[in-house]
Structure 1
Amino acid sequence: MTTEVAAPSGYDAFLAAITPTSGLMKTILDPATGGVVGEAPVHSVADLEHAVAAAVAAQPAWAGLGHEGRSAALLRAADAVERSAEDLARLLSREQGKPLNGPNARFEVGSCVAWLRAAATIPLEAETIVDDGQTRAELHYRPIGVVGAIGPWNWPMMITVWQIAPALRMGNSVVVKPSEYTPLSVLALAKVINEELPEGLLSVISGGRDVGERLAGHPAVGKIMFTGSTATGKAIIKSSADTVKRLTLELGGNDAGIVLPDADPKAIAQDLFWGAFINSGQTCAALKRLYVHEDIYDAVCEELGAVAAAAPMGNGLDETSVLGPLQNKQQFDIVNRLVDSAKHSGARILTGGNPPQEQPGYFYPTTLVADIDNDNPLVAEEQFGPALPIIKYSTVNEAVAMANGLDVGLGASVWSSDPAAARKVAARIQAGTVWINKHGAVDPRIPFGGAKQSGYGLEFGVEGLKALGVPQIING
């Protein structure tokens, strides 16, 4: 499961190009093997101040290029990422743990290319609000200035692009603070993108919590984009208050899926599985609570078990792997604790539940848990790993009430052979996005954001571009 796989020489040269030659450094370890991936800089608050100052200086000329000039640069950046895609994917696989194949590392880098191109090409025209012969009012969106982007470790490259691409398109400069777990991936991505951008416009500051706190409260930063836990999001809200920053927060989720009694268990099993286990469950908008009607409960459990058995888990550089390790020990311990609590409560472990002992890597086996109460910690807390609780229900009203029973609402899904019936149920669910017969399928053209304590603000599409600008009315 954890066999070391050698990376090619081209990758070694790529990694060397982002390795610091002096200053404080942090050794980054491969979550699959425990081996050294590389050395990342440990930047300070002073480094952040220099980056913000450079961003302030670079932003006006960038804004002056207009949408056409900025879009052209972003399209060139997308081409540059595409040229370096394999080296980026291999670095991502080693640092984050996700396999090259399946909806994982190569998929993530490909998504970076797609989102850069989408941000560059989605039209954003001035809106005429009133034009009645006496009054004319137009709505425009102007650059904010400097945007701070604070990203997570689960999809470090892709989510960074989700943040920086629309910010740059709208005429802003950006300072990125990556997760301390996955800084190399973001540093490498920024190095490639910066081949096509003016100096100082996009910086990555790879530091600790003190750097993130200063970025969130910095008076020269006009907006913070953050993807991560609800607890950290609340801290950012507090840090940003004195400077009245604009915020886009994509926070924790604990997404529910409801399988209606008319669904075909075999037909939906593959999509159900990947809705839950993409990136080994380490996805904010992954399916984390599955509610199945009692009439088809056993059949759904059986079909999911068959899909799980056919999904190999192993070292990310092994071309046969489609599931990888958890990224860090803290997350491994959370998943292990929650599955153990389910076992002790009397829930039935259909598959998995017993992590390998005395082996390198944070591998937790694909785990399906049946006959579990809705208030069990594995259901009520976000596990963020490869363990799916499957809860039986009797009526749709009961399922909807359970799905809405938590204080989060990022995504949800409804599964049915009747899309019209599924949409009626979807309208009753308190979540920012409700998918029908799929889960977690994001699209750069379609706005995405959370409800309740899963955050606020929209990303993607025209609405995502508008969120990175300051609305201005020209009246007259």
Structure 2
Amino acid sequence: MSDRNPSPAGGPLVEGPRDPEHDATASYALEPEYAASLTRRVLATTGRTVEVRSPLNGAPLAHIPQSSAEDVAAAYARARKAQQAWQRVSLDDRAAILLRLHDLILERQDEIIDLIVWESGKARKHAFDEPLHVALTARYYARTAHEHLDTQRKLGVVPGLTRVEVNRVPKGVVGIISPWNYPFTMALCDGLPALLAGNAVVAKPDAQTMLSALWGAQLLEEAGFPADLWTVVAGPGAEIGPELVARSDYVCFTGSTATGRLIAQGCAERLIGCSLELGGKNPILVLRDADLERAAEGAVRAAFSNAGQLCVSMERMFVADQVYDRFVERFVARTEAMSLGASLDWGVDMGSLISQQQLDTVTRHVEDAVAKGARVLTGGRHRPDLGPYFYEPTILEGVTPEMTCFGEETFGPVIALYRFHDEADAVARANAGEYGLNASIYSQDGARARAIARFVKCGTVNINEAFAATFASIDSPMGGMRQSGMGRRQGAEGIHRYTESQSVATQRLLRFGPVLGMSDATYAKVMTANLKLMKKLGRA
């Protein structure tokens, strides 16, 4: 694996302090006033701050103000006031602001990407996915606003006399709790359809990557969204998370299954809805007729994009006996050819893990597997020479159920390989465990692969692709089955979750009861005859 050093970049970065141990990765730092301008967007009055540092080299990034329960209450008060005015803004005007946001993001993408790389440690090409995804989301919902939100006519009980319409009414204020692994897109993509539907948002991004989320909030305002329609609070989830659940009309959460359960319990207690994208132990199947070069290229992206810190990345790979050895040779070779580095360049294939906690988890999983008999085909080492949290992309063979990484999510650049002979057995093994977020199938027979996909218990399945085909197709829903979550982002479901459906029926002439002196018994007979007639006429 080759290593790369950083190069200068414009925008938010300035020459920074040099560290003798990591001299190559410590040449730049975040411009202090730039960071301060972003942190001022946090609604916080406690006077407390938390320092955050770059995972690339440990350089200080910012001191994030911390919100109190009272600050959260104030955020919701502001949001409710803003939402009351916002829901009266025409749908076309709301959509126009989303299209302005689309253009702003594409125009400012270099600055956005610089900040994402510096704050998250990921490779630049993986950071690029974030403004791309947010721009796609903004454009999609702007262009399909009327399709999803216009009042729809429905069948009335009495043809010609009962007019039924279904309105999409905003829920009010949506609480969005977003993770650190994709700090720009996850902070924004779920909230854009909420705004379009007429809601306000109170957002709590993860503490490790607040700056990317705050930059997103600033862009929303520049695009034309009213002040207080998108308010940001900051603080430990255990402290202010319950306040968000207690004050929201709907909660959208992306993160761990354990936290998702707590949020679901809080929402159930209040009888409000929630959508949860949670953990995964995602499988990839390489069938005997797969294009092995394409499968090996896809497997590298599937396992090692963002150093494996992606909810839909793959940690289990099932390969047909007939092609196993040839595939593994290609996969290992491509993995060993990857370039690693703490860099703002486009030439890096994989960046850093986010924190010491993630590094500890990855190290523990690999060491446990090796101690119990697994073989490391490549990787398996911490690389402090590149940065504090770098870990090599790692391929394991011989992983068995008693090993921690067999069933637990690693959320790092580690994948385990398994042979299979029977495809039905491979599907059963892919479905084993409690998760069901994303899967991938490689085969040159698309129809056969799509037929197999129906039996894979995952919310998204990609054919001859790792994850981007479903994730970037904004018109289709994305989410998990089983312990990987509930609800969906994207598509119609991604915006309808933020609305209440309201049926309005207007009745003309005929009333529902005896008329013209009918008895109740006669009325019942007339209505029964009408039902039989409607069936004969093919009416619903």
- Cα distance, 1:453 vs structure 2: 0.9
- Which residue of the partner structure matches residue 281 of structure 2? 254
- Which residue of the partner structure matches residue 239 of structure 1? 266
Matched AA of 2:391: Y
Residues 1:175 and 2:193 aligned together: no
- Which residue of the partner structure matches residue 98 of structure 1? 122
Question: Is the 2:176–2:203 Cα contact (8 Å) retained in structure 1?
Answer: yes
- Cα distance, 1:42 vs structure 2: 1.6
Larger Rg: 2
- Which residue of the partner structure matches residue 285 of structure 1? 312
Matched AA of 2:35: L
Distance 1:292 1:27 in 2: 45
Distance 2:109 2:453 in 1: 37
Residues 1:466 and 2:496 aligned together: yes
- Cα distance, 1:185 vs structure 2: 1.0
CA RMSD of aligned residues (A): 1.9
Residues 399-421 of structure 1: CA deviation (Å, up to 9, x unaligned): 11111111110111211111111
Residues 1:444 and 2:441 aligned together: no
How many residues are treated as equivalent by the alignment?
Answer: 472
1:391 is matched with which residue: 413, 418, 426? 418
Matched AA of 1:205: V
Distance 2:274 2:4 in 1: 40
- Which residue of the partner structure matches residue 75 of structure 1? 99
- Which residue of the partner structure matches residue 378 of structure 1? 405
Distance 1:185 1:258 in 2: 35
- Cα distance, 1:2 vs structure 2: 8.1
Distance 1:4 1:429 in 2: 42
Distance 1:335 1:413 in 2: 23
Residues 292-348 of structure 1: CA deviation (Å, up to 9, x unaligned): 111211111111112112221111414321211111111111111111122112222
SS of residue in 2 equivalent to 1:292: strand
- Which residue of the partner structure matches residue 127 of structure 1? 152
Question: Is the 2:87–2:198 Cα contact (8 Å) retained in structure 1?
Answer: yes
- Which residue of the partner structure matches residue 24 of structure 2? none
Question: Is the 1:315–1:324 Cα contact (8 Å) retained in structure 2?
Answer: yes
SS of residue in 2 equivalent to 1:409: coil
Question: Is the 1:224–1:246 Cα contact (8 Å) retained in structure 2?
Answer: yes
Distance 1:15 1:84 in 2: 17
Question: Is the 2:341–2:386 Cα contact (8 Å) retained in structure 1?
Answer: no
- Which residue of the partner structure matches residue 460 of structure 2? 433
- Paired-residue identity, %: 34
- Which residue of the partner structure matches residue 212 of structure 1? 241
Q: Residues 74 and 359 (structure 1 numbering): CA distance in 2 closer, same or farther, change over 3 Å?
A: closer
Distance 2:386 2:348 in 1: 17
Distance 2:89 2:343 in 1: 41
- Cα distance, 1:454 vs structure 2: 0.8
Distance 2:435 2:372 in 1: 24
Question: Is the 1:98–1:323 Cα contact (8 Å) retained in structure 2?
Answer: yes
Distance 2:285 2:401 in 1: 13
Q: Residues 19 and 150 (structure 1 numbering): CA distance in 2 closer, same or farther, change over 3 Å?
A: closer
SS of residue in 2 equivalent to 1:408: coil
Question: Is the 1:66–1:171 Cα contact (8 Å) retained in structure 2?
Answer: no
- Which residue of the partner structure matches residue 137 of structure 2? 115
Comparing 281-290 and 262-271, the one that deviates more: 262-271
Question: Is the 2:479–2:489 Cα contact (8 Å) retained in structure 1?
Answer: yes
- Cα distance, 1:39 vs structure 2: 2.3
Distance 2:128 2:381 in 1: 29
SS of residue in 2 equivalent to 1:343: helix
Residues 261-296 of structure 1: CA deviation (Å, up to 9, x unaligned): 121222321112112211111111111211111121
- Which residue of the partner structure matches residue 8 of structure 1? 10
Question: Is the 1:108–1:155 Cα contact (8 Å) retained in structure 2?
Answer: yes
- Cα distance, 1:93 vs structure 2: 0.6
Question: Is the 1:2–1:33 Cα contact (8 Å) retained in structure 2?
Answer: no
Question: Is the 1:458–1:464 Cα contact (8 Å) retained in structure 2?
Answer: yes
Q: Residues 71 and 248 (structure 1 numbering): CA distance in 2 closer, same or farther, change over 3 Å?
A: same
Q: Residues 168 and 81 (structure 1 numbering): CA distance in 2 closer, same or farther, change over 3 Å?
A: same
Residues 1:145 and 2:172 aligned together: yes
Question: Is the 2:4–2:340 Cα contact (8 Å) retained in structure 1?
Answer: no
Residues 1:368 and 2:395 aligned together: yes
Gaps of 5+ in 1: none
Q: Residues 405 and 254 (structure 1 numbering): CA distance in 2 closer, same or farther, change over 3 Å?
A: same
- Which residue of the partner structure matches residue 412 of structure 1? 439
SS of residue in 1 equivalent to 2:353: coil
- Cα distance, 1:358 vs structure 2: 6.9
Distance 2:63 2:226 in 1: 26
- Which residue of the partner structure matches residue 368 of structure 2? 341
- Cα distance, 1:241 vs structure 2: 2.6
Question: Is the 1:154–1:283 Cα contact (8 Å) retained in structure 2?
Answer: yes
- Which residue of the partner structure matches residue 27 of structure 1? 51
2:484 is matched with which residue: 454, 460, 471? 454
Residues 1:48 and 2:72 aligned together: yes
Matched AA of 2:114: R
Q: Residues 72 and 297 (structure 1 numbering): CA distance in 2 closer, same or farther, change over 3 Å?
A: same
Distance 2:183 2:228 in 1: 21
1:39 is matched with which residue: 38, 63, 71? 63
SS of residue in 1 equivalent to 2:275: strand
* TM-score, length-scaled by structure 2: 0.84
Question: Is the 2:137–2:189 Cα contact (8 Å) retained in structure 1?
Answer: yes
Residues 1:157 and 2:184 aligned together: yes
